[in-house]
């Protein structure tokens, strides 16, 4: 998973912290601020921004999540809604505002973002595209994915929600192993997630799959405004292709559907689209991602 003053006073609207901005439940943007298939990912970032270890600045035309780490999804610009007129000037202002706080911020540009030419405008300003994320969705009516196929995990497997700091440390350890996270990134992620509620009714819930007491797979679900989003799906390398990620996904989906969520989305990296399709998710729009082009 994955503060500071601006180097120059912005000439546009002043950034505001998420805790004083107009927000909905759990610090997520209020209805009307975001819409479409990318609304849950943006609300998820806003929820992370309620942590005391993270800063969330919202302006009328975008939001910025920053933190003193290189872990993702921190240091991300999201929910952009710029006007076509004066776009280049506004992007210069935004760049000046972000220069000291998040010079290497990633941009998330989803199907609800405007204008359509925003990715090209950022490329012209020195950004480059990285692999996009495919937004996929599953409905409550379709039910839970099958876990009795050839990759079923077998006996001795336990799936439970994360309810305490010790279990959360195991959850983060799964991601450290799965994605080769640096220890300091994992530690920061643990601090952020540990500062958010782990209660049964919390909007963000985490699940762990264990075999013989060892944590091997994990998933999170974030419920907001009648929709759910799956995040942080991971399996340690030595336990892959055993159906454990499917069990984690099932548990997260069951949690969401049990809350009355009507549909659940996730963002699939290019190599994972086929796997989620087999679990009953349907392909939707792309989430474009851009990062600053490395200087030469």
Q: Is residue 38 part of a domain?
A: yes
pLDDT in the model for residue 109: 96
Which residue in the block uniquely carries the two structure tokens 């990715």? 119
SS3 48: helix
One domain, residues 273 and 159: yes
Q: Is residue 98 part of a domain?
A: yes
One domain, residues 129 and 227: no
pLDDT in the model for residue 33: 42
Last residue of a domain, one of 135, 170, 197: 135
Q: What's this model's pTM, rounded to 2 decimal places?
A: 0.84
One domain, residues 65 and 143: no
One domain, residues 253 and 143: yes
How many structural domains comprise the chain? 2
One domain, residues 230 and 205: yes
CA angle 230–234–235, rounded 5-degree value: 145
Neighbours of 70 (CB within 10 A): 14
Query: Which residue segment(s) compose the domain that 85 sits in?
Result: 16-135
Neighbours of 183 (CB within 10 A): 8
One domain, residues 20 and 40: yes
One domain, residues 125 and 220: no
Beta strand 127-139 pairing with 282-292: antiparallel
Q: CA-to-CA distance for 109 and 115, rounded, in angstroms?
A: 10
One domain, residues 51 and 72: yes
| 296 residues of the chain, pLDDT tens digit each | 332 222 222 223 223 333 333 333 344 343 334 457 899 999 999 999 999 999 999 999 999 999 999 999 999 999 999 999 999 999 999 988 887 777 789 999 999 999 999 999 999 999 999 999 999 999 988 777 765 554 555 678 999 999 999 999 999 999 999 999 999 999 999 999 999 999 999 999 999 999 999 999 999 999 999 999 999 999 999 999 898 999 999 999 999 999 999 999 999 988 889 889 988 999 999 999 999 998 76
Last residue of a domain, one of 112, 135, 158: 135
- For residue 182, the domain's CATH number is 3.40.630.30
Q: Is residue 295 part of a domain?
A: no
Q: Is residue 65 part of a domain?
A: yes
Q: CA-to-CA distance for 24 and 224, rounded, in angstroms?
A: 9
Last residue of a domain, one of 101, 135, 169: 135
Beta bridge partners of 229: 222, 265
H or E stretch covering 43: helix 39-48
């Amino acid at each position: 998973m994955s503060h500071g003053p601006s180097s120059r006073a912005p000439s546009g609207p002043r950034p505001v912290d998420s805790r004083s901005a107009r927000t909905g439940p759990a610090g997520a943007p209020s209805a009307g601020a975001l819409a479409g298939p990318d609304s849950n990912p943006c609300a998820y970032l806003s929820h992370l921004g309620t942590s005391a270890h993270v800063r969330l600045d919202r302006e009328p035309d975008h939001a910025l999540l920053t933190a003193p780490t290189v872990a993702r999804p921190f240091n991300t610009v999201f929910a952009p809604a710029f006007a076509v007129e004066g776009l280049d000037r506004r992007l210069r202002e935004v760049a000046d505002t972000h220069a000291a706080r998040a010079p290497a911020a990633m941009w998330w540009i989803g199907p609800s973002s405007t204008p359509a030419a925003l990715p090209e405008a950022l490329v012209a300003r020195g950004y480059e595209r990285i692999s996009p994320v495919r937004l996929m969705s599953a409905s409550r009516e379709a039910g839970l994915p099958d876990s009795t196929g050839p990759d079923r995990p077998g006996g001795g497997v336990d799936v439970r929600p994360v309810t305490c700091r010790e279990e959360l440390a195991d959850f983060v350890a799964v991601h450290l192993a799965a994605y080769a996270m640096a220890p300091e990134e994992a530690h920061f992620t643990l601090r952020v997630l540990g500062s958010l509620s782990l209660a049964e009714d919390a909007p963000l819930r985490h699940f762990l799959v264990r075999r013989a007491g060892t944590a091997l797979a994990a998933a999170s679900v974030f419920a907001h405004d009648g929709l759910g989003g799956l995040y942080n799906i991971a399996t340690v390398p030595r336990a892959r292709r055993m159906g454990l990620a499917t069990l984690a996904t099932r548990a997260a989906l069951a949690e969401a559907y049990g809350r009355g969520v009507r549909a659940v989305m996730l963002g699939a990296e290019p190599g994972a689209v086929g796997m989620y399709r087999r679990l009953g998710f349907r392909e939707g729009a792309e989430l474009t991602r851009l990062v600053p082009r490395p200087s030469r």
